[in-house]
């Protein structure tokens, strides 16, 4: 991977000439998905095909009869994006062998609902079979497209329409699932986390993922003003705070080797991240301190575990 075209500055990301996602889509103001897609489609060369699971990104970019996609694009149900990507990849292998058709780069986008939950079986199967694609989960931590219901990606303590904060429970009782570790357990060559507040890191990770012969998985932090209840202008600030508070560590796993990309030696107080989002504000009340303490424990345990994996503790 040392020969890859990695960048050091946001100025090195290709400009408007290379826009493959047209403006005018219906994604919410402040959503992190458009930035993700624009950078991904610039980092991965032509020819390329996008496989898109049902979700916010699919719905908002392809409302009939319009489409924001300037490249071949396939819509799937929630549960089968990875399976379709595997089928597309297998078909192009035959076309390449029989007719010399160049196999395209295959990119899969799925939300947390279509990745952590409904589509996990198909993703696991595709990773185990070793299909050559880049799978990107844009994680807004709930089923935002269908009504802000909790998913297994929803953090402990977050309020959703199916884990409402009240006198019975102070938000979702369970901790968040670890998608990167599930992917790594399949023995894949590359997996990483990414964040819109760190576009250079995101770009380089996409380049690395695309260079892998076989599957690669990117887990992307996707701020959602609607579901998280914050002003759209705060999206990047909240995304950056997720890293600075260790809520969302930026790291990569390359051939089993762990590397922390942004080392946070002195984390910002978790409360700075929580207080900006309506879904978490109830955790700052005295009666819910026990849940806040559990969330802090989750974050601290995950960071210590990551340090050990990276050989730093």
Q: Which domains are delineated in the chain? A: 10-309 (3.40.50.970)
How confident is the model at residue 251, as a pLDDT? 98
> How far is the C-alpha of 223 from the C-alpha of 163, rounded, in Å?
19
How confident is the model at residue 18, as a pLDDT? 86
Check: CB of residue 33 under 8 Å from CB of residue 138.
yes
How confident is the model at residue 40, as a pLDDT? 98
Lookup result for tokens 């990849």: 89
Q: What angle do CA 277, 280, 286 make, to 5 degrees?
A: 130
Which phi and psi (to 5°) does residue 73 adopt? -140, 135
Check: CB of residue 248 under 8 Å from CB of residue 299.
no
DSSP characters for 80-124?
-HHHHHHHHHHHHHHHHHHH-PPPPEEEEEEESIIIIITTHHHHH
> How far is the C-alpha of 133 from the C-alpha of 93, rounded, in Å?
13
Percentages of the chain per state (helix, strand, coil), in multiples of 5: 40, 15, 45
**Sheet with strand 48-53: strands edge to edge:** 73-76, 48-53, 105-111, 134-139, 216-221, 190-194, 251-254, 257-260
pTM of the model: 0.97
What is the rounded radius of gyration, in angstroms, for the C-alpha atoms of the chain? 19
> How far is the C-alpha of 282 from the C-alpha of 261, rounded, in Å?
32
How confident is the model at residue 16, as a pLDDT? 83
Check: CB of residue 224 under 8 Å from CB of residue 140.
yes
Looking at the DSSP bridge assignments, the partners of residue 230 are none
Tokens at residue 124, please?
């696991």
How confident is the model at residue 3, as a pLDDT? 80
* pLDDT tens sequence for the chain (313 residues): 448 999 999 999 998 888 999 999 999 999 999 999 999 999 999 999 999 999 999 999 999 999 999 999 999 999 999 999 999 999 999 999 999 999 999 999 999 999 999 999 999 999 999 999 999 999 999 999 999 999 999 999 999 999 999 999 999 999 999 999 999 999 999 999 999 999 999 999 999 999 999 999 999 999 999 999 999 999 999 999 999 999 999 999 999 999 999 999 999 999 999 999 999 999 999 999 999 999 999 999 999 999 999 999 8
> How far is C-alpha 292 from the chain's CA centre?
24
């Amino acid at each position: 991977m040392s020969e890859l075209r990695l960048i050091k500055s946001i100025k090195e990301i290709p400009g408007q000439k290379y826009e493959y996602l047209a403006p005018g889509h219906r994604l919410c103001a402040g959503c992190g998905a458009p930035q993700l897609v624009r950078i991904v489609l610039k980092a991965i060369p032509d020819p390329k095909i996008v496989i898109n699971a049902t979700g916010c990104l699919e719905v908002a970019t392809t409302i009939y009869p319009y489409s924001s996609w300037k490249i071949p694009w396939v819509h799937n149900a929630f549960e089968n994006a990875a399976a379709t990507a595997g089928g597309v990849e297998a078909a192009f292998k035959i076309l390449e062998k029989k007719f010399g058709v160049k196999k395209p780069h295959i990119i899969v986008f799925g939300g947390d609902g279509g990745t952590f939950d409904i589509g996990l079986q198909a993703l696991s199967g595709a990773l185990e079979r070793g299909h050559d694609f880049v799978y990107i989960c844009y994680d807004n931590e709930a089923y935002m497209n269908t009504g802000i219901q909790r998913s297994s990606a929803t953090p402990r303590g977050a309020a959703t329409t199916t884990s409402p904060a009240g006198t019975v429970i102070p938000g979702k009782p369970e901790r968040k699932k670890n998608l990167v570790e599930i992917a790594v357990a399949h023995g894949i060559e590359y997996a990483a986390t990414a964040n819109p507040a760190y576009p250079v890191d995101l770009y380089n990770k996409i380049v690395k993922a695309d260079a892998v012969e076989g599957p690669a998985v990117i887990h992307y932090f996707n701020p959602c003003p609607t579901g998280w209840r914050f002003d759209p202008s705060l999206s990047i600030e909240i995304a950056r705070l997720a890293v600075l508070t260790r809520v969302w560590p930026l790291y990569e796993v390359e051939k089993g080797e762990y590397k922390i990309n942004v080392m946070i030696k002195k984390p910002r107080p978790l409360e700075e991240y929580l207080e900006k989002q309506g879904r978490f504000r109830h955790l700052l009340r005295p009666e819910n301190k026990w849940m806040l303490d559990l969330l802090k424990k989750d974050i601290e345990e995950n960071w210590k575990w990551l340090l050990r994996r990276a050989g730093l503790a």
